[in-house]
Structure 1
């Protein structure tokens, strides 16, 4: 299997620079309509796929993003690795606006989203103890440093439902009691679904502002946030263009991301719902 890198672009990131043979394609999924068409092409000889998480023009809120359809179409197109880039708020003084954080843990506080491909008719449980791929995350860290971005290795991402931002009390809870580092609205259930689809997943948090815990939070002008968002998008594209050279040829994942379903499916073959199994053809075809 050849390596194919998929990039899911968050707020402000709606394309990839330098793609050869770039083409927007419509890809259908049994899990619904994805956020947008998918941009395909090659970069330094490596196949690439790009999907704007909120759609071009930013038409989806965090709660309405079709997460299952998005992951399904990326797997359906042959993606082996997913790099998520997302705008986030910071809980740490040292994680400043304009910095990037390579996430390694999540706390999922979302509640209005479908979080699994599996359920009645075909039950499965995958481990997300370590929800990101260390190899892919390391490549993102190296790519960002090479691009001159201030990078931070490791951090806990609090995924909130939104679309409102957190209250001061919530912000203090997440920062001071739970020890989270950044806050965002979109990496859950995305990371869980990527694991169910046996895809390596890395999350790069692009800091736009300090959350409401910060004493200067109220003094930040929206124009400053928009300027940071634009600068972060440029940095994200610079990071992504360096990934093919760092990742090289595809090899089996040393951390087992591509074998997450080996022992996960509990429903016996005779008891599985054929309609559910048919919908899982891309996500779980290897084991079904």
Structure 2
């Protein structure tokens, strides 16, 4: 299979520079419309697809982002390697605004979102013990270093519902849990990418210290936006460095991303919903023999 890199851009990241034959395309999925059209093209000979997570102009809230449709759209377009770029707050002194962190674990505190492609008529249980692709994450870290940004490899992302920022008590609690950064869009995106058997990595762009820090006791939106804009340029440079690091055929990885569904579907073949099978053709057709 030919490798195709997908990028889902967070706050401040609304495009990819330098795409050849760039075109915004409309994608319809069985799970509805994604946040926006998808920008497709090639970069250094590698096919690319870019989707602004909140839509151009930032019109979707963290809760209303159509996560299932976004991941399904990327899968339908042929994306094999998906990089999420997300603005986050830091929960540790060592991780400063302007730094990047390559996420390797999550704590999911969201509660108002559809978190699975599966459901009644087609029950699936996918392991997310290792929610990101180790190989793709390593490539993202290398790309970040090439841009000159300070990058931290490995860290735990707390996904909160939002749209409000944390209370100080919540921020202190997450620090006690050992979490490293906090954001509003990391979940269920990572879980859905796992169900879709995509290689997935998250580049967390740190914009602030959340509200735990004694010198930053309240998150200022203007400050967050200003740092996010600066980070966005670094993020675009990171994305531009990825094709050279990821060239070659798509295939298996150390994390087993492309075989996440091997033993996940629990519903007996004779009890599987025809409607659900049709909806899941792109996501799970490999294991449903579709």
State the distance in 2 between where 1:200 and 1:231 align. 27
Work out the CA distance in 1 between the residues paired with 2:231 and 2:99: 8
How many aligned residue pairs are there? 287
SS at match of 2:138: helix
In structure 1, the partner of 2:245 is: 246
- Displacement of 1:219 in angstroms is 7.1
Distance 1:57 1:142, change over 3 A: same
Unaligned runs of 5+ in 2: none
In the alignment, which residue of structure 1 is the partner of 2:57?
57
Q: CA deviation at 1:161?
A: 0.2
Q: For residues 226 and 184 of structure 2, what CA distance do their matches in structure 1 show?
A: 20
Q: Which residue of 1 aligns with 2:11?
A: 11
Q: Which residue of 2 aligns with 1:210?
A: 209
Q: Distance in 2 between matches of 1:261 and 1:280?
A: 12
Instruction: Give the structure 2 partner of residue 112 of structure 1.
Output: 112
Please say which of residues 249-258 and 232-241 is displaced more in the overlay. Answer: 249-258
> 1:194 aligned to 2:193?
yes
* Kept after mapping to 1: 8 A contact 2:25/2:38: yes
Q: CA deviation at 1:40?
A: 0.3
Q: Which residue in the other structure is 2:77 paired with? A: 77
SS for the counterpart of 1:5 is strand
2: CA distance, partners of 1:279 / 1:226:
38
> Counterpart in 1 of 2:27?
27
TM-score, normalised on structure 2?
Answer: 0.97
For the 8 Å contact 2:14–2:52, the answer to whether it is kept is: yes
Q: Whole-Å Cα distance in 2 between the matches of residues 223 and 66 of structure 1?
A: 26
User: What SS is found at the alignment partner of 2:187?
Assistant: coil
Q: CA RMSD in A?
A: 1.0
| Corresponding residue SS for 1:217 | coil
Please list every run of at least 4 consecutive aligned residues from structure 1 whose deviation after the TM superposition is greater than 4 angstroms: 219-222
What does residue 47 of structure 1 align with?
A: 47
Distance 1:223 1:15 in 2: 21
**1:94 CA displacement:** 1.0
